[in-house]
Amino acid sequence: MTCFRKVVSILFLAALLCPISPARAADSNNATTQVQSEAQAQAQAYQRTIAEYRRQINGWQTSANIQVALVIIAGVCGVFVSSLHRVDKPWAKNIVLALGIATSVATFLSGSNAVFSADYRSLREAVSQADRLIARMDGIAPTIAFLSQPSDLATAKGQMGDLFNEYDAIADKVGSSSSTSTSAAQNELHWPFQIPVVHAQSTSSAAPAWIHSLPSDGRNLYFVGIGSDASLAKAKDNSLTDAKAQLDQACEFGPPYVSTDARRTLIGNSATVQDTYFTSSGNSQFTFYTLLRISRDIQRMLPAPAEYDQNGWHPLDLAFDPSAGLFVLDRDGKILKITQDQSGIHLQQLFQLPGALRPDAIAASQDSVYVSSNGPTGCNIFQYSFANRRPSQRNVSGGTQGCYGIATYGAGLFVAFPSNQEVRYWPAWSSQTTRSFTLPEAVPNCVLHYDVYGQRLLYAGPTGNAFAMSLDTGRWSKITSNLGYVNSIAVTPASLLFASGGKVLFVARANNSGLNPPPGMASLGAGMVSGIAVDSTNAAWITDYDKSSIRGPFALN
């Protein structure tokens, strides 16, 4: 009896469900058929409008050709008039009169706004621009006939409508409005105009140049996003997402800056879709391209200068590497990494020197941070490796005065030994062999910095002199003097920066002359600038020993 009830229940449910499923399937098929019918009607309407545009473009070309012919006629007549003026014959005077009249008429007609809507140069330019638009329209119209999804049809309609708007703008420039044909098409088809200018592939035209080569100008940055999908609407969305991801990556600053929601929002709101384009392989797959534009000023917009201070804390030196970041060495021998986010400047301790050692200077490379220090056993150099997050130590004999300035060049390391009037160079931390260069001065408390732009080693110190040395020659040349007591050096593509007393002095790279500091650094109000570094955005950071602080970024552009 139980089995019988189950069978009856199943049959009853099947009887209920069977009439519903075919109905739903029929509704779905009817909706798809309706969209396809609408798409075919749209494609035909578009092609009629395109044909009208072609006739108008042919009219522009004809007008331009007639104007050129009239200009040529006027010129030729003028030449004959000049030649016949010397002939003192009655027939010549009659010809001159006739040619003069012809010249005047041709000149009047070629420049008449009543006869021609624009001059031939404007008309030819309009023809060139409109031909490119027509080629895009020719690519879209056949594609639309195969669309079966409402979202895809709406996307294609919007793009075609924007192309018509752009065509109208071209026609308006030459005083030949196409509003009649376009308005009629719009009234018939009710297109939404919400998507920027689009170029669609056509067998008669190559893809837009920006597909293969990004536009270039001094004001903007451009990014091309690519998306593919069986749905045109989804391909468009994927393309825009890809372009925005590239934009975010390019406009986010590297170390020491930490990405913030406020900056991401600013970048997103400042970007503009400049152009779009799509191709299709039959009706099975669409590839959509989006050209995104953003002002270079937005990309370069730095966070406002911030300050970190701590009572009783005394920073000694700064170092920066584009990959590793920004680092500070303090009087207690702490090595700390500096970051900045929307809440301010933050310090993270990496390691600390043994208490018996007196820290001197810091340098950074892609893989490590290096510190020079002195103590009872003489010069001690430390490396902190980012790979294993551990410091290693090297005790080096360097005379009674110990070691001072330190600089990096790739994996190599420079350290100054004033007692020996020597700069020692290790090709790598693990290297047991060194190369030696003579110091330009034998004084302690000197500083070193490797100039990556000039490919040379820089030296300065308490005497106020600054020198540069090419590694190829090993010879020093004086850059400038009267700098005061130099505590730190940094470089930019255009200048050299020297931290001296409460100021940062700027020296032109081109001719070693003094420069005025940028507005943000003209009056620092510092006690003693103990460290200076320039990050990848060409912004400066300083440490103030007396005021126990770090400040930055200061834009140098």
Residue 82, class by beta-carbon neighbours within 10 Å (0-12 exposed, 13-18 middle, 19+ buried)?
exposed
Length of the chain: 557
Structural domain tally of the chain? 1
Strands 272-281, 198-200: pairing is: parallel
C-alpha Rg value of the chain to the nearest Å: 37
Query: What is the pLDDT, as a whole number, of residue 200?
Result: 39
**Residue 220 in domain:** no
Tell me the CATH number at 394: 2.120.10.30
Find the domain containing 434 and state its range. Answer: 310-555
Are the CB atoms for 492 and 518 separated by under 8 Å?
no
Are 446 and 464 within 8 A, CB to CB? no
- Tokens 């820290």 correspond to 359
CB burial string 521-543: b at 16+ within 10 A, e below:
beebebebbbbbbbbebebbbbb
The residue ranges of the chain whose pLDDT is under 50 are: 1-25, 114, 178-205
For 78, residues 6+ apart whose C-beta sits below 8 A from its C-beta are: 103
50: nearest Cα among 137, 179, 110: 137
Query: What pLDDT digit, counting tens, does each position of 518-528 carry?
Result: 988 988 988 99
CA 366 to chain centre: 24
Residue 31: in which H helix or E strand, if any? helix 2-84
| 150 located within any domain | no
Helix then strand then coil, % of the chain, to nearest 5:
35, 30, 30
Q: What is the predicted pLDDT for the residue at 123? A: 81
User: Quick check: 465 and 478 in contact, CB under 8 A?
Assistant: yes
**Within-domain flag for 107:** no
φ, ψ dihedrals at 434, nearest 5°: -130, 165
Domain-located, residue 226: no
Reduced to 3 states (helix: H, G, I; strand: E, B; else coil), residue 336 is strand
Type of residue numbered 51: A
Look at residue 185 and give its three-state secondary structure: helix
165-to-157, 192, 461 alpha-carbon distances in Å: 12, 12, 67
> What residue type is 366 in one-letter code?
Q
* Full 3-state SS string of 197-238: CEEECECCECCCHHHCCCCCCCCEEEEEEEEEECCHHHHHHH
Cα dihedral 327, 508, 459, 338 in deg (nearest 10):
0
The token pair at 47 is 């092609």
- Within a domain: 540: yes
Per-residue pLDDT, 14: 41
Kindly state whether residue 375 falls inside one of the protein's structural domains.
Answer: yes
Does residue 441 lie within any of the structural domains?
A: yes
Other C-beta atoms within 10 Å of 424: how many?
A: 19
Domain membership of residue 219 (yes or no) is no
Contact 302, 553 (CB under 8 A): yes
The residue whose two tokens read 């012919």 is 69
